A and B are shown apart, each in its own frame.
Chain A
């Protein structure tokens, strides 16, 4: 069960001139495990949505056909289970157990069978709480597990997973991968979208690479595909295993201090933490899911009022404002000094087009219109968003949205840049561009603070790391310079 037949498939979202995917021919036998690759914006998420029958006819234009076991997935969703890129949008009910039961109820599973199946699914994904746990009280990683349980409980013939481990800490990502491996029965077909190929490879026996312009670029066993196309794929943005990107560490010692945090915390979200940020250095903040990294980023960025302790900006960053803490600064002053990139890019968007989104900051800080235009065009070009200048930010692919959110923070050229998970869900090309962008900023005397689970990015960029721990650490988190 779960054979996929795609013939000449193409989809164009309503309101777009370009096709999101086009000319895809693909046959996947029941029980195959496929890794779907392709650069950001190639149409991977769109293709998965089509396989799940979730592209409504009134929301775009279709070419070709998609069949699951010979049936149109729009009419017959019995066979397909899907976990989206963002698990939060996927939870339906208020209690965890009810949420898993939701799909079973919809499919008319007899009442007596429902709870045993719910319990089994929760056990398989290592869900740590009982069924009554409110879904609103789950961390990102736990939500991801619950969403997976909801899909597995249906015993789908075809399981579709869109970046199921983005945003998880390494231990959590490992757990989810093992849950997937352990939960699949022999005849379940799996299609997985995951940029980080190396971690996903143990789960799959076939790789399909989508060509951004249309069609399938490569298809076959992983070793064969990477041996034959490795060079070209890497250049296009696919994370080909074994091809590392040269690191960019600081060549000069850091300069003056810009910002310090003393016993800074916001109970219960963040325990008191000490931190100092200097010009010309890249600092990485690490730690498990839910420890308070994003909270710390918002506090440092002057967006949240500290619960305890304080943030102090030096005159080098704040000029005459160095006696007031950042959260009391006027917004235009703040955005010139500190740029913030939120963990969820969509939380950051405030206008209706990509262009306006980039122009907002410069306009608010009083730049002239020609200067604004020049800044925006340069950023659009550098992050390959020119084609999308008129698009609504909320219709972007995961990777495009992330690039835009980074670009918005750069638009006012702040002295200090604070980025929350800038590299999640990024293809190799964007990853490399971000690395160069941040490194260039640092070398030009800016400070870059990144909150991240991405060990490779830390290794390639960071001059110093700070690790937050679950228990309040009396000594604070500052670990000193990297060797």
Chain B
């Protein structure tokens, strides 16, 4: 029960990672409506500027849970939930979600799951963004031109991911820590006693 192995997932780690995944699954569902609705006014690749939202759970999960597999698990659950709710990419996210998630996981693994500072978060976000963009251009937009579409698309997605998923997740983690709900996680443990 009281396992000292800090890499072992506690029940609370599993449930909170899943809750984050479920919450973002719902956000994805709503975001998809926006992406294909009003945001359609900005055609791709410009629209990729808001792509980063799809990658937030990976970085956020990694930053909060701080266990091996957290980034992967959180984004995978989010992708699956959005599929279950009916996303416009449907079943294909079952492959794409874990792929992006694995890319983000790579960044945390590279630092041995010991460093959870801003640069690592930014790296995780960028890797996830790159993975997502590469998948898109090969699977969804084959036959498009590299110069006018593919390269700008990949670049814009990576930057959007860096800003929204990277910086955004760090800011969100801090905001959540301030409310006290992360008290049982290392991310929430730097507050004064009352």
Contacts and interface: CB of A to CB of B under 8 A. Distances in A.
A75 B179 contact: no
A352 B178 contact: yes
A50 to B, nearest CB: 14
Contact of B184 (A59, A352, A394): A59
Interface in A58-116: 58-59, 74-75, 77
B184 A388 contact: no
Interface residues of A, number: 19
B46 interface: no
B194 A388 contact: yes
A480 B184 CA distance: 53
Given A388-B194, A391-B194, A15 B1 contact: no
Looking at chain A's contact residues, the main secondary structure is: loop
B1 A59 contact: no
Contact of A15 (B2, B178, B181, B194): B194
B8 interface: no
B119 interface: no
A395 interface: yes
Interface in B28-51: none
Nearest to B185: A58
A16 B183 CA distance: 12
Nearest to B184: A59
Given A15-B183, A58-B184, A352-B179, A75 B2 contact: yes
Contact of A59 (B2, B183, B193): B183
Interface string B158-194: 0000000000000000000011110110000101111
B180 A352 contact: yes
A16 B193 contact: yes
Contacts of B193: 15-17
A75 B180 contact: no
A246 interface: no
Contacts of A391: 194
A90 to B, nearest CB: 13
A53 B11 CA distance: 14
Interface string B74-101: 0000000000000000000000000000
A381 interface: no
Interface in B11-65: 12
A57 B2 contact: yes
A56 interface: yes
A16 B2 CA distance: 23
A15 B184 contact: no
Interface in B113-156: none
13 contacts: A15-B193, A16-B194, A17-B193, A53-B1, A56-B12, A74-B1, A77-B1, A352-B179, A388-B194, A391-B194, A392-B179, A394-B181, A395-B180
